[in-house]
Structure 1
Amino acid sequence: MTEVVLYGGKGGVGKTTMAAASALQSAAAGDDTLVVSTDPAHSLGDVTKTDLGGEPTPIRDGLWGVEVDPEAGIDRYQALFETLAAELGEAGIQLDEDEVAALFSSGVVPGSDELAALDGLATYLAADRFDRVVFDTAPTGHTLRLLDLPAVMDRGLATAMDLREQVRRKVDAARTMLFGPMAAGDRETPGKFTDLRERMDRVGAALRDADRTAFHVVTLPETMAVRETERLVAQLREFDVPVASLVVNKVVEDPGDCERCRARHTVQTETLGELERALPEVPVRRVPETHGEVTGLAALERVGTQLAEQ
Structure 2
Amino acid sequence: MSNLNTVLYPGKSGRKNIFFSGKGGVGKTSMACITAVQNAKKGFKTLVLTTDPAAHIGDVLDKPVTDKITKIEGVENLYAAQIDQKKATEEYKEKVLNDAMAKFDESTIMAMKEELESPCTEEMASFQKFVEYASSEDFDVIVIDTAPTGHTLRMLELPMDWSKQIQLKAGENAEITEEDKKQKARFDKVISMMKDEEMTTFAFVMYPEKTPIIEAYRASQELMTLDIKTQLVVANLIISEQDAVTPFYQKRRNMQLGYIQEIKNTFDKAHLLEVPMFDDEIKGMDMLNEITTKLF
Q: Same fold by TM-score, threshold 0.5 exceeded? A: yes
Pairwise mapping of residues 175-214 of structure 1 onto structure 2 (< 5 A)? 190-214=177-201
Are 2:156 and 1:150 aligned?
yes
Deviation for aligned residue 1:168 = 5.1
* Paired residue total: 279
Aligned equivalents of 2:120 and 2:208: distance in 1?
35
- 1:276–1:163 CA distance, 2 compared to 1 (3 A): closer
Assess if the C-alpha contact under 8 Å between 1:106 and 1:156 holds in 2: no
Deviation for aligned residue 1:88 = 2.1
Assess if the C-alpha contact under 8 Å between 1:106 and 1:152 holds in 2: no
Aligned equivalents of 1:283 and 1:146: distance in 2?
25
Q: Secondary structure at the match of 1:95?
A: helix
- 1:98–1:220 CA distance, 2 compared to 1 (3 A): farther
Cα deviations by residue, 1:248-293 (Å, 9 ceiling, x for unpaired): 0001121443111100011011111122122222221100111231
Are 2:202 and 1:215 aligned?
yes
Cα deviations by residue, 1:94-121 (Å, 9 ceiling, x for unpaired): 3164412356x696754x1x12321221
Pairwise mapping of residues 85-164 of structure 1 onto structure 2 (< 5 A)? 85-89=101-105, 94-95=106-107, 97-102=109-114, 110=121, 112=122, 114-137=123-146, 143-152=149-158, 154=160, 156=162, 158-160=164-166
Identity of aligned residues (%): 24
- Aligned residues: CA RMSD: 2.7
- 1:31–1:79 CA distance, 2 compared to 1 (3 A): same
Assess if the C-alpha contact under 8 Å between 1:153 and 1:200 holds in 2: no
TM-score, normalised via structure 1 length: 0.80
Cα deviations by residue, 1:183-227 (Å, 9 ceiling, x for unpaired): xxxxxx712222222222122112111120001110001121122
Deviation for aligned residue 1:154 = 3.0
Higher helix share: 1
Q: Which residue of 2 aligns with 1:63?
A: 78
Q: Which residue of 1 aligns with 2:18?
A: 5
User: Relative contact order: is structure 1 or structure 2 higher (C-alpha 8 Å, sep ≥ 6)?
Assistant: 2
Larger Rg: 1
TM-score, normalised via structure 2 length: 0.84
* Letter in structure 1 aligned against 2:95: A
Q: Which residue of 2 aligns with 1:79?
A: 95
Q: Which residue of 2 aligns with 1:264?
A: 252
* Letter in structure 2 aligned against 1:100: M
